[in-house]
Amino acid sequence: MTPFLRSYLAVVAARFRMLLQYRVAALAGVATQIFWGCIKLMVLGAFYAVAVTTPPMTFTAIVAYVWLGQVLIGLLPWNHDPELQELFTSGGVAYELLRPLDLYWFWFARTLAFRTAPTLLRMVPGIIFAVLVLPLIGLPEWALPPPASLAHGLMFSVSFIVTVMLSCAITILITISMFWLIEARGLSTFMYGVVPVFSGMIVPLPLFPDWMQPFLHWQPFRGLCDVPFRIYSGDIPLSMATQEITLQLLWVVVLIAAGYSLISFARVRLVVQGG
Amino acid sequence: MPQILVEGLSKSFRIAERKPGLWGAFGGLLHRRYRSVDALREVSFSIDEGELVGYIGPNGAGKSTTIKILSGILVPNSGRCEVQGRVPWKQRREHVATIGVVFGQRTQLWWDLPVIESFDLLRDIYRIPGSIYQSNRDELIDMLDLGSLLDVPVRQLSLGQRVRCDIAAALLHNPSILFLDEPTIGLDAVSQLSVRAFIKKICREQNVTVLLTTHDLDDIEALCDRILVLNDGRLLLDGTIADLRGRYGDSRYVAVELESITSVTPAHESLVVERSESHILFSVESDVPGFVDDVLRLYPVKDLLITHPPIERVVASMYQAERVDQ
């Protein structure tokens, strides 16, 4: 490994370790997620029971979609790292620029830890519930099914890595907005409304009306849930998976490029708060 | 070629203004008014390797702005600035790898991590080779007496402990230049002395160039051979402490505490700076011993203290003198 990459990984590791301390918050989060997962399955199950036409997804695919969503909800880029927020309001951003690191990738490293550490904490109990507990309490049809095939599982893993990158790229854009806004709470509130809907977290995207589908297909947030979850369940066939992942990756490249140039632009006009 | 070269450096900030009160807040939504503030105006100086330079001036004079430009954080509006042949904000990453910076009012350590983990993280960030890191770290721990603090999370350190750790953190990667922005602010006397002794030592023994901003003239007198005085973004003086005192009133403050309320003799009337019931503060330009003799003879003195006038006063009198010159 190049020493160059090592310094960024050290940042990820340090922040990751720090975030793993918030275990009680994670446990509370798990309970909420499980509750929401069950509610969603009840509602969608009721719709499926009375459907007059064939729904666009099988119920098994819906179950996979819902549980993967609930388990990985921490990845959704609808908030930003409070530690970075603090840097902007207190002027600590000055120290960030003193490190011999590229500012964008330095923050990308921090953001990667911020997105993955809490998610990892919540993921494990969530998966245990969705895979093992549900069949035991007599709800096997609600349990998280395995991937459609080994190949689907592998494709899902690739797509999922891109999802993490996409989530970080969007989160960093919220962070960068603080160069102008100082306080990103307003933008985060906006994202809180937009991201869950357009990623498919609230309702799986294939269930939206037909006239919305072209728009839903091309927008970036779809790569956060819809693409990897449907590859997992086989709702996106293997023949389409590469194409879908390419689109996902394209958005990652565009958003990273946008963030990168915004940071360079903001650097020139930087004002450090608090002298 | 000097190590730090600054020529005609200017920086201004744009500050959004709004009228106070509710109407002002509404007005600000529709129409923003901006005011431009000149933080630095045509500042020029140069510093050679191994120098220990004090940078003084009142709040808002532009000291921190200079430090931030020299360390590559801020981009100036105009002027030339080279540090070790590099333009700090253009070659930021190469540049910051060779400098150490401490902002006394902020910490560069990770708030929730034990001190030693912050050091280890800096080793990885600066890519310091293992053996160099170990010897630097052990030496700094020894010199700054950090042994007992290493396992304590930064948030639990006292200010003096934290500043010492911060100084160590700024030196782990063997920088050849150290920028210290008010390193002794808020420190108790013991910490202040140990920080001063340390700065002097690394400057002398390791030939590190130090630029230090402070409000404390005692810091400057204890440490610096050379001072730069800044006021309102302009460089007023580049010279020694003796130059400063010689040119702008080499006075002493004599603070007297009285046993009983007494009136000041007419001859001393013009020297009084402040007067409360039992305290009088005189400003004396010449023959301080003679004046003290008079005071002890004429007044019922309970206590007496001789000090330098505060830096703000010296700089204020200097600024007034500059204005008269123009």
pLDDT tops 80 at residue B68: yes
Chain A residue with Cα closest to B125: A7
pLDDT tops 90 at residue B188: no
Question: Phi and psi for B109 in degrees, rounded to 5?
Answer: -85, 155
Residues of chain B found within 8 Å of residue A7, distances taken between Cβ atoms: 124-127
What span, in angstroms and rounded, lies between the C-alpha atoms of B99 and B80?
19
Q: Taking residues A142-165, what's their average pLDDT?
A: 95
pLDDT tops 50 at residue A197: yes
Token couple for A123: 């993921």
pLDDT band of B27, cuts 50, 70, 90? low
How far A172 CA lies from chain B's nearest CA (Å)? 20
Each residue's pLDDT tens digit, A34-62: 999 999 999 999 999 998 888 889 999 99
pLDDT band of B51, cuts 50, 70, 90? very high
pLDDT tops 50 at residue B40: yes
pLDDT tops 50 at residue B11: yes
Query: For position A11, what pLDDT does the model report?
Result: 87
How far B97 CA lies from chain A's nearest CA (Å)? 5
What span, in angstroms and rounded, lies between the C-alpha atoms of A266 and B90?
14
Query: For position B19, what pLDDT does the model report?
Result: 67
pLDDT tops 80 at residue A183: no
Q: In what order do the strands lie in the sheet with B226-231?
A: B99-103, B177-181, B209-214, B52-56, B226-231, B234-239
Of residues A90 and B126, more confidence is placed in B126
pLDDT tops 60 at residue A274: no
Query: For position B120, what pLDDT does the model report?
Result: 93
Average pLDDT, chain A: 89
> Is B301 in the A-facing interface, judged by CB distances under 8 Å?
no
pLDDT tops 90 at residue B53: yes
What span, in angstroms and rounded, lies between the C-alpha atoms of A245 and A255?
15
Q: What angle do CA A238, A239, A245 make, to 5 degrees?
A: 75
Chain mean position to CA B84: 22
Of A10, A11, A268, the CB nearest to B75: A268
> Is A2 in the B-facing interface, judged by CB distances under 8 Å?
no
Q: What percent of chain A is predicted at pLDDT more than 90?
A: 61
ipTM of the complex: 0.81
> Is A91 in the B-facing interface, judged by CB distances under 8 Å?
yes
- Closest-CA residue to B282 (of B262, B260, B257, B300): B257
Query: For position A275, what pLDDT does the model report?
Result: 47
Q: What angle do CA A89, A268, A179 make, to 5 degrees?
A: 25
Query: CB distance B74–A270 less than 8 Å?
Result: yes
- Identify the residue whose tokens are 């948030």: B155
Q: What percent of chain B is predicted at pLDDT more than 70?
A: 91
Q: Taking residues A170-187, what's their average pLDDT?
A: 85
pLDDT band of B249, cuts 50, 70, 90? low
Average pLDDT, chain B: 86
Query: For position B34, what pLDDT does the model report?
Result: 77
Cβ-Cβ contacts under 8 Å between A and B: the total is: 73
pLDDT band of A162, cuts 50, 70, 90? very high
Helix segments in B184-249, DSSP class H:
189-206, 217-223, 241-247
pLDDT band of B275, cuts 50, 70, 90? confident
pLDDT tops 90 at residue B38: no
Q: What percent of chain B is predicted at pLDDT more than 90?
A: 36
pLDDT band of B312, cuts 50, 70, 90? low
Chain B, 114 to 153: residues with Cβ < 8 Å from chain A are 117, 121, 124-127
- Closest-CA residue to B315 (of B222, B225, B223, B214): B214
Among A71-80, B105-114, B220-229, B303-312, name the one with the lowest average pLDDT. B303-312
What span, in angstroms and rounded, lies between the C-alpha atoms of B224 and B272?
31
